[in-house]
Amino acid sequence: MADLDPWLASLSAELLGRLQDDPSCRPRTLVLHHRGRLDTDHAKNWMAGRTSELTKTVSRSCAFPECSVASIKPGSAAGADWPIPASVIAETARKLLQERVSSPFPCSRLALGATDFVKVEHHGPRITAFFNAKAREDQEGPEEKSPPPTESESENEGFDFGSEEPVTEVPPATAQTKESRQGQDVLPINVAEFHRASRLHFLGTWRERFERWRAAGGGGAGPEVPEQADRLRQEVAVLQQDDAEAVWAHLDMDCFFASVATRDMAQSAGTEAEEEVPTAVVSGLGASSEICSANYAARRAGVNTHLWSVERARSVLPSLRLVPISSELLRSVEETWKKVYQLLVVACKDEPDHVFMRSCDEAALSVKGVRDPLAWAEALREAVRVQTCCTCSVGIGPSQLVAKLATKACKPNGQRRVLQKEVRPFIADLPLRDMPQGQFTGIPEAWGSREAEDIEAGI
Domain CATH number, residue 368: 3.30.70.270
Is the same domain home to 223 and 362?
yes
Q: What's the pLDDT score for residue 272?
A: 77
**One domain, residues 83 and 117:** yes
What CA–CA distance (Å, rounded) separates 8 from 166? 34
Among 138, 196, 198, 193, residue whose Cα is nearest residue 170: 193
Edge-first strand listing for the sheet containing 25-35: 58-63, 25-35, 109-120, 186-188
Ordered per-residue pLDDT tens for the chain, 459 residues: 677 888 888 888 888 887 877 777 788 888 888 888 787 777 776 666 666 666 777 888 888 886 443 444 444 443 444 557 888 888 888 888 888 787 888 888 888 888 888 876 544 444 334 344 444 454 555 444 444 444 434 344 445 554 443 333 333 443 333 344 443 444 444 555 666 677 888 888 899 889 888 888 765 334 455 678 889 999 999 999 999 999 999 999 999 999 999 999 998 888 877 778 999 999 888 888 889 999 999 999 999 888 878 999 999 999 999 999 998 999 999 999 999 999 999 999 999 999 999 999 999 999 999 999 999 999 999 999 999 999 999 999 999 999 999 999 999 999 999 999 999 888 887 776 666 655 444 444 444 434 333 554 443
Q: Residue 74 falls within a domain, yes or no?
A: yes
| 383-385-389-390 Cα dihedral, nearest 10 degrees | 130
Are residues 91 and 178 located together in one domain of the fold? yes
Residue 399 lies in a domain: yes
**Sheet of strand 291-294: strand arrangement:** 291-294, 279-282, 321-324
Domain assignment present for residue 202? The answer is: no
Are both 304 and 346 inside the same structural domain? no
Are both 49 and 123 inside the same structural domain? yes
> Hey, what's the torsion of the CAs at 347, 350, 354, 359, to 10 degrees?
70
User: Is 96 in the same domain as 9?
Assistant: yes
pLDDT value of position 275: 75
Q: Are residues 184 and 312 in the same domain?
A: no
- Looking at 302, 325, 348, the residue that finishes a domain is 325
Report the pLDDT value the prediction gives residue 379, as an integer from 0 to 100.
96
Same domain, yes or no, for 250 and 290? no
Beta-carbon count within 10 A of 30 CB: 26
Answer whether residue 205 is part of any domain.
no
Length of the chain: 459
Q: Within a domain: residue 150?
A: yes
Question: Domain check: are 362 and 436 in the same one?
Answer: no
List the CATH number of the domain containing 273: 3.40.1170.60
| One domain, residues 47 and 178 | yes
Domain that holds residue 445: 431-459
Number of domains in the chain: 4
How many angstroms separate the CA atoms of 88 and 66, rounded? 9
- For residue 204, tell me if it sits in a domain: no
Q: Is residue 448 part of a domain?
A: yes
pLDDT given at position 271: 81
Shared domain for 217 and 334, answered yes or no, is yes
Domain match, 226 and 358 both: yes
Residue ending a domain, among 325, 341, 359, is 325
pLDDT at 37: 79
Q: What is the pTM of this model?
A: 0.59
Is 207 within a domain?
Answer: no
The pLDDT value recorded for residue 397 is 95
- Chosen domain end from 303, 325, 347: 325
CB atoms near residue 378 (< 10 Å):
14
